[in-house]
Amino acid sequence: MADTIKVEVFKGEGGQGAYQVFDVPRMESQTVLDVVTHIQRNLDASLAYRFACRVGMCGSCAMMVNGSPRWTCRTHVGDVVEDGCLKIAPLRNLPHIRDLAADLVPFFDKMQKAGGRFVAGKEVPQQMLNIDPQSPARVAVDAGIECIGCAVCYAACDVVAWTPDYVGPAALNRAWTLVNDERVADTGWHLQQVALDGGCTSCHSQGACSVHCPKSLNPSQSITGLKRAVAAAFIKGEL
């Protein structure tokens, strides 16, 4: 293990800026977030970045690490360091605030644009319902529901980069969990939301979302499911 790592960090505001190099001591237990923290605490007090939970539950700290989007809190330096170097930049495909912090507002707005919320029916049951955990629909919900909204898939997706309207993998993955939720009163409404411009038909099935998802979810598969459901609804004249 080398004594130090050469770390290139993007510094600047509103998309303007340049990489600055720092030498950071290499530690045995050291994540990329620890590297960034070391720089802010010891080498450059002005360095801006975002983190919260420290353990891969909140999805606040994702950044581009050597060109790939990753949770920095759960990425061990030993897994990503190349020839003693690290290159850290703000998440791609999002407006830049300062240094390593990107603005996630468009990402969350698109979740809503894709209908990403549960809407109860007129009669809301007063007790928790009996629901079969093994039904195929419920299994499909479970497969996608543990998304923490870290925007790693959004940053990994080239279609997002090319098509600013595209709602992106996380928003569509959430929509798929709602389409499969037996408690949802108006599934047709969810399909309408994802059939709009920038919805599921914009996806080119490149699969970068599924490759990069730190939770090993498969948004690409969810989007395929939505495309089929939208097509079927269209044929039936429901859309």
Tell me which residues touch other proteins (CB under 8 A).
13, 27-31, 33-34, 37-38, 40-42, 45-60, 73-76, 78-79, 97-99, 101, 104-105, 108-109, 111-112, 116-118, 120, 124-134, 141, 145-149, 178, 181, 183
Residues 6+ apart with CB under 8 A from 97: 13, 14, 48, 90, 103
Beta strands 85-89 and 4-13, pairing class: parallel
What minimum distance in Å lies between the beta carbon of 206 and other proteins? 26
Host H or E run for residue 97: strand 96-98
For other proteins, give the closer residue by CB, 48 or 239: 48
Determine the 3-state secondary structure of 20 from DSSP: strand
CB of 144 to other proteins, least distance (A): 12
180 C-beta neighbours (distance < 10 Å), count: 24
**DSSP-assigned letters across all residues of 49-94:** ----SSSSSS---EEEETTEEEESTT-BHHHH-BTTEEEEEPPTTS
Nearer to other proteins, 79 or 158 (CB): 79
Nearest in space to 148 (alpha carbons), one of 31, 51, 56, 225: 56
Q: Which is nearer to other proteins, 159 or 169 (CB)?
A: 169
Token representation of residue 55:
């353990």
Distance in Å, CB of 235 to other proteins, minimum: 29
Q: Which residue, 129 or 235, is less far from other proteins as judged by CB?
A: 129
**In whole angstroms, how close is the CB of 97 to other proteins at the nearest point?**
6
Report the residue number, 86 or 101, with the smaller CB distance to other proteins.
Answer: 101
Q: Which is nearer to other proteins, 36 or 159 (CB)?
A: 36
Question: Shortest gap between Cβ of 210 and other proteins (angstroms)?
Answer: 17
Report, in Å, the least distance between residue 150 CB and other proteins.
9
- What is the amino acid identity at position 17? G
Q: Residue 216 CB, nearest distance to other proteins (Å)?
A: 9
CB-wise, 127 or 235, nearer to other proteins?
127
